[in-house]
Amino acid sequence: MTNLKKRNKKEGFKRLSPKQIKKQKEKEAKELKSTLDWMDIESISADGIVLARGKKKRYVKGFLIKPTNIHLLPETETKHAVLMCANALDHMKYPVYWKFIKTRPDVGVQQQRYADMMKHADKPAIRNLMQSEIDKLEWFEETHREITFVALIQADEINFEKTWHSLAEDLYRAFGRKPVPMRLMDYENLVSQEFENDNVNRYMTTQLVLPDVAESEEGVEI
């Protein structure tokens, strides 16, 4: 133990106390908050992202995209799927921002199923087994990420609802299924990914890097 202490001291290693770790995290959080205060995002919620610059506000909202693997379709269906998608994209006369983000796997249904089985189980061994499966799902949710594709719009208050409904209709036309609105966690993951910093999610003032609509009339990939 004495030799280890000497080696750590010689190599410049210093173990931080819980109080020092807490203080360091607070300092990092304060610096991040100071940076984010200069950004344009006013708030993030399940309803989308509000951008504010001065008195002007713009609203960002999107849908989750679950594309079909056309390589698994018969040739005739493949051609039809490509044609439908191309026609829908041509119909979009407003800027659309395409993005893919990494999200946590949704294991809620499986967790609930095991929880119900554990609740009605008579034998302790079965309850322990169900709890073990729930723990595995929690571990999987924490350690794995899925790729999710999204399509977003950005508009002012006057044009937002019209553009939002147009996007929903065009995505349905493109992929043949009703699009699913993004969730709060999807917006948070999008913002975190832009910054490559998970700590961003702790604040309501965060930055989503989207170009101004004025800079592009055809939409931009981000």
Q: Which among 122, 144, 166 is the end of a domain?
A: 144
Would you say residue 215 has pLDDT above 50? no
Q: Is residue 74 part of a domain?
A: yes
Confidence of residue 103 (pLDDT cuts 50, 70, 90): confident
Q: Is residue 210 part of a domain?
A: yes
For residue 199, what pLDDT is reported? 53
Name the phi and psi angles at 78, rounded to 5. -65, -45
Residues 81 and 179 in one domain: yes
Residues 95 and 166 in one domain: yes
Residues 139 and 150 in one domain: no
For residue 10, what pLDDT is reported? 46
For residue 195, what pLDDT is reported? 66
Residues 208 and 218 in one domain: yes
- Hey, what long-range contacts does 211-214 have (CB within 8 A, 24 or more apart)? 213/58, 213/95, 213/154, 213/155
Residues 129 and 213 in one domain: no
Residues 71 and 152 in one domain: yes
Q: Is residue 61 part of a domain?
A: yes
Q: Is residue 217 part of a domain?
A: yes
Please tell me which residue, 44 or 214, carries the higher pLDDT value: 44
Would you say residue 133 has pLDDT above 70? yes
Query: Terminus-to-terminus CA distance in the chain, angstroms?
Result: 53
Residue 112's domain comprises 105-144
- The pLDDT tens digits of the residues spanning 42-83 come to 888 999 989 888 888 989 999 998 767 777 778 888 888 888
Buried b / exposed e along 126-150 (16+ C-beta atoms within 10 A): eeeebeebbeebeeebeeeeeebeb
